Amino acid sequence: MPRIALVTCRPGPEISVDRDLPVLVGALREVGAEADAVCWDDETVDWSGYDLAVLRSTWDYSWRAAEFLAWAERCGKETRLANPAEVVRWNADKRYLGELAAAGVPVVPTRYLAPGDGADGLPVDHEYVVKPTSGAGARFAARYTPDEHDTAAGQLARMHAEGFTAMVQPYVKGIDVSGERALQFYGGRLLHASRKGAVLTPGTPYDSRKVAHPGLEPWTPTPAELAVAERALAAVPRAPELLYARVDLVDGEDGAGGEPRVMELELVEPNLFLSLHTGSVPRVVDAIVAAAAG
C-alpha cells in the first residue's frame, strides 16, 4: 500500500481553497493507497514516512520562496518529491522564460528589472505588464499604458524594495480575444486543457486581489498549442522526471490565430481544475501511484 503525501498550505486570507485536494485524497484511498493532505511548513510531518510527496497547492510559496525552496530540498532528501526539488527551484523563478526563449521556444517577450535597475526601461509606445518573477494568481501584476508611467514606476520601486525582480512584457492583446489556454500534463501525457479569460483589467491596482481564472472552461488544444507546449516541456532541465506540468499559452502579437506563446510554465503547484475534468481523476491517481512505486 503506497503512502502518499499531497502537499498543500495552511488556509489564509490570500489563499484560495484547493478543490482538487479532497477529490484526489478520496480517489487515492479508493484504490488502496494511504493518502494524506499535509502542509509543507508543518514541522511535525515525517516526510520519510511517505513513498512520495506530490506538490499540490503550496499557494503561499511565491512570497516565501527561499523558505519553500529550502524545504523542497530537505523533503526531496527524505522522500521522493514530485516534481523534484531541482525542477521546483528552476521553475520558481520566471527567469526560466528567458531560458525557454534562448532554446527557441516561443514565449511572451520579457525584460527583467532587478532591484537596482531603476525604472528607465519602461515602454513608452505600447501597453505593458509589470509583474514579479516569483508570483502566482496574478499577485502583484498590473497593466499600464505609457501615460501611467509614474504608477508603474511606483510598483517597480515597491517590488524592488521588497527584493523582487520585476518582469516587463507587452500587454498581449490576443488574450482579450482568445483568452489563455492551460494545457495540463500528468504522467508524461496530455491530461486535459482549459481556457480562461484575461485577468488584468485596465486600472486595477497591482496590489489588489484578482480573479485568477475568469470564465474557466474546458478546451480542446489545437495542434499548434500542443506543439508549442511539447517544445516548452522538452526544454525543461530534467524533463523526463516531471510527474506533472501545466503550460499556459496566449496568442502572440497578431491576435487570435497568431502563434501560441508561453505565458507561464507551471511545474510547482498547478491547479488541476478537476471539477471541470472529472474524467481525468483516474489518470492522475494512476500516475501518482506509479510514481510512488518508483
List the catalytic residue out of 246, 261, 264, 269: 246
**Considering the complex, what minimum distance in angstroms separates the CB of residue 268 from ligand ADP?**
10
What is the rounded distance in angstroms from the CA atom of residue 228 to the CA atom of residue 132? Answer: 24
- Is 99 marked active-site? no
Q: Is 21 in the site for ligand ADP (CB under 6 A)?
A: no
| Range 256-275, binding ligand ADP (CB under 6 A) | 263-264
Closest of 83, 21, 31 to residue 52, by C-alpha: 83
Q: Are 257 and 251 in contact (CB under 8 A)?
A: yes
Nine-digit cell at 277?
475534468
* Alpha-carbon torsion, ordered 25, 214, 15, 169, to 10 deg: 120
Nearer CB in complex with Mg ion: 8/271: 271
- Cα(10)–Cα(24) distance, integer angstroms: 18
Print the binding letters for residues 230-269 with Mg ion: x by CB under 5 A, - otherwise.
Answer: ----------------------------------x-----
CA gap 250, 163 in Å, rounded: 29
Which of the choices ligand ADP, Mg ion, none does residue 60 contact, using the CB cut-off of 5 to 8 A by kind?
none
> What are residue 273's DSSP bridge partners?
none
Q: Is 246 annotated as catalytic?
A: yes
Report the interhelical angle of 20-30 vs 281-293 (nearest 10°): 60
H or E stretch covering 283: helix 281-293
Q: Distance between CA 162 and CA 62 in Å, rounded?
A: 13
Which residue minimizes CB distance to ligand ADP?
199
Closest of 150, 212, 152 to residue 182, by C-alpha? 212
CB of 264 to Mg ion, least distance (A): 4
172 binds, among Mg ion, ligand ADP, none (CB under 5 to 8 A by kind): ligand ADP
Catalytic site includes residue 266? yes
Window 168-187: residues binding ligand ADP (CB under 6 A):
169, 171-172, 175, 180
Q: Which residues are near Mg ion by CB under 5 A? A: 264
Query: What residues act catalytically?
Result: 209, 246, 266
Q: Which residues are near ligand ADP by CB under 6 A? A: 108, 129, 131, 135-139, 141, 169, 171-172, 175, 180, 198-200, 248, 263-264
